[in-house]
Amino acid sequence: MGLLTSTVGSFPKPKELVRARRAFADGDIDRGALLEMERGAVRETLALQESLGLDLLVDGEMDRGDMTTFFAERIEGMEISGLVRSYGNRYYRKPRIVGDVSRRARMTVEAWTFAREQSSKPVKAILTGPYTLMDWSFDEHYPSREACCLALAEVVRQEAEDLAAAGAKDIQVDEPAISARPEELPLAARALGVVTSGLRGKVRTWTHLCYGEFGPVADQVFALPVDGLLLELSNSGLDLLDALRRLPSDKMLGAGVLDVHTRSVETADEVRARIEKVLEAVPADRVWLNPDCGLKTRTPDEARAKLAAMMEAVRAVRAACGF
């Protein structure tokens, strides 16, 4: 069946978890207490997705403060520096690469396994890609961006293959940094290929790109070594539709049909109109539907309402298509 649904990965954290993470950072609670809070939030996030009827679930990244810092804290050869501004009034602690990178231990497998055990539906595993880890860090060690990126690709490859061995059937490797330097797409593709080459035929691989001028390099994007591409479409006014007509027949599209950078909640009719436009470019049996990007910047009520509108629209389009 086509028109299956998922999300890009992150969900808003409950206020009590935000307070617990702050208390842990201040030394007021221990790691075990924080873990219990995180797992409770994961259960709630999975239950929300199940209640709305999504097909492929995520754990909401409740254990991650930031998509690069989370991994940098667990990779040998990386340290965390001070706060830098990412966009708007949002800041994150930018990592520093100070030595040869290597994986100390599995970074996400236990959390993914826990999430999978909480639901009868499949749960997607999500990793930050090597190009983004490289580009969003200060490299104070490697002689070139290429050397740094490929070293990180080996670290991410090991984690991805451990996830596959643990039973993950969908693995998403996020590469949002590609949008800033499209001229480095060949490097990003090479590093992504290191991560996914051993997964082909075992799991469904995805990458997420967002908020860039991808039209001029669409064919390079479509050639990235993954099974599916999750692309932001709504915030940019569906400007990739013409290019998507050239999407190779062996690629799936995760179409962003919710704009996560606005508090305004789309109506089901608005989302349905976006879906129908996507279906003019890509056949329904290769289209998945999801928000443009992660939902962590929205409030819990906004995230729920947006996803509810998406699912209402999906059901209407499925019925019209005979699914």
Q: Which residues are catalytic?
A: 261
Q: List the 4-5 sheet strands across, edge first.
A: 4-5, 287-290, 252-256, 228-231, 204-209, 170-174, 125-128
Instruction: Classify 173 as helix, strand or coil.
Output: strand
Could you tell me which of 67, 68, 62 has the C-alpha nearest to residue 15?
62
**Angle, CA of 234, 236 and 238, to the nearest 5°:** 60
Cβ atoms of residues 197 and 32 within 8 Å:
no
- Radius of gyration of the chain, Cα coordinates, nearest whole angstrom: 19
Instruction: Classify 48 as helix, strand or coil.
Output: helix
Task: Identify residue 206 by its one-letter amino acid code.
Answer: W
H-helix or E-strand spanning residue 230: strand 228-231
Cβ atoms of residues 134 and 150 within 8 Å:
no
Tokens of 43: 């259960």
Alpha helix (H) residue ranges in 170-228:
185-196, 218-222
Instruction: Classify 227 as helix, strand or coil.
Output: coil
Tokens of 251: 């690629």
- 88: phi > 0 → left, psi -120 to 50 → alpha, else beta; which? left
